[in-house]
Structure formats: C-alpha cells, structure tokens
Amino acid sequence: MSTKTVATQLVPQLRDLIANGSFPPNTKLKLQELGQTFGVSLSSVREALLVLSTQGFVVGEDQRGFRVVDASAANLAEVTTLRAQFEPYALRIAIERQDRAWEEKLVGIFYRLSRIEKEDGYVPFLDEWERAHREFHLCMIGGCQMPLLLQFCSNLHDMSDRYRRIYLSRDMPPQRDVAAEHSAIIDAILKRDADTACELLRTHSQRTGAAALERLQALK
C-alpha cells in the first residue's frame, strides 16, 4: 500500500482524536510515537499531518514537527460565524435543486440519528451518535453539489465539533433539545421551505458555537 493511501486512511483517525480531545489543544505530535501506535511509516504520518495542517487541525513548526492547533475564543467565534453564513447558503442551493435521491438519503440518515437519540440512556457523545450526527449535517449541505464549498463547510463543521466535544463535557446537563432542532430542520427541508430550513440551521450552529464559547471562556 502506498504512502499516500496509508496517509489518506490515517487523516480521519487523527482528526477524530484531535476533535474528541484525545490530543488536547497545543499538544506536540511525535511522529515516531504515532507511527508505532498506528503501525505505519513516519512518511505516512508526516503526510497525514500535512493534510491536517491545511484543514486547520495542526500547525507545523520549523524543524520541530507538528502541534495540535490551540483553542481560542477568537477562532471559535470565527468558525461559528463562517458556519452560520456558508452552511445555510449550501442548504438553500440543495433545496432549490429538488434532488429526490438527496432527500431520500437525508431522510435515511435522519432516521438513524433519531433512533439513536430516542434510545434509553442516550447522551450526545456516543461514538455512534457522533458519526450519524456528522453524516447528517454533511448530507444536508451535500445536495448543493459544489465541491469547493462542501470541502470548506466540512472543515468548518469539524473545527466546530472539536470545540463542542472538548468544551461541552459529558458531565454537563443538556441545555437544549438538539433532537427537536434536527427534526424541525428536516421538516422544513422536506416542505422545501428554504427560508425556514436555512434560518433553523443557522440558529442551530450559532447555539452550538455560543455554548462552547461560554464554556471555553469559563475554563480559561
């Protein structure tokens, strides 16, 4: 298997470890240790980290390797602002396209997400929920079929999720009915009410960002 192929497979694994706080902000990433942990070559680790640096998850240091990007209120506020602008824009285009296959795929993902959210003992940090939640959000905007916009939105979503997963800790009581917010968005999409759907998505992202920002500032 080529170095590039191995690195491509390694990127989402490392990104998830950064997003869930396993590698806290500003942590130095040691290539040799990562290579041993994942059983891959140093060149594959380096290439994966270079990709993550272009996505905003790690920063390269001259002759010193890589470090997890620090967390800051300014960065979180910027990410939240950009999400609130670009994700609703992508969703509006998706709704206007009236793509039946996209709607059916989105409904299927929403059903899986809803099933998880209705389970006894559900908390919004389960790995299964995290996967379904990410897939739901990216599918919503995926219907716009604009690759550059989708790549940008995907990176913003993952950056936002990093703050959510680190700073909205598991021991915090639920502050919102996130499942109801998801349901309202999907209802508006299926009615092809772009104005309502986009405003609900914008508010949904802003609430998440505001909650994480409040927690980050409290812990600083």
pLDDT in single tens digits along all 220 residues of the chain: 666 677 889 999 999 899 888 999 999 999 899 999 999 998 899 999 999 999 889 998 876 689 999 999 999 999 999 999 999 999 999 999 999 999 999 999 999 999 988 876 666 667 888 899 999 999 999 999 999 999 999 999 999 999 998 888 655 655 678 889 999 999 999 999 999 999 999 999 999 999 999 988 887 6
Helices and strands (H, E) in the chain, number of each type? 9, 3
Q: Please enumerate in sequence order all residues whose Cβ is within 8 A of that of 207, keeping only pairs 6 or more positions apart, or say none.
A: 176, 181
8 Å CB contact between 137 and 91: no
Q: What are the residue ranges of helices labelled H in 59-169?
A: 73-97, 100-117, 127-142, 147-167
The region, left, alpha or beta by phi > 0 then psi within -120 to 50, assigned to residue 98 is left
Which pLDDT score is estimated for 155? 92
Which pLDDT score is estimated for 201? 98
Q: Tokens 């995290």 correspond to what residue?
A: 130
Which pLDDT score is estimated for 163? 92
Q: What are the residue ranges of helices labelled H in 31-99?
A: 31-38, 42-54, 73-97
Helix (H, G, I), strand (E, B) or coil at 65: strand
Which pLDDT score is estimated for 124? 64
Which pLDDT score is estimated for 4? 65
What are the backbone dihedrals phi and psi of residue 169, each rounded to the nearest 5 degrees, phi first?
A: -70, 165
Which pLDDT score is estimated for 5? 79
Which pLDDT score is estimated for 8? 85
Structure pTM? 0.87
How far apart, in whole angstroms, are the C-alpha atoms of residue 136 and residue 80? 18
How far apart, in whole angstroms, are the C-alpha atoms of residue 198 and residue 90? 9
How far apart, in whole angstroms, are the C-alpha atoms of residue 122 and residue 55? 31
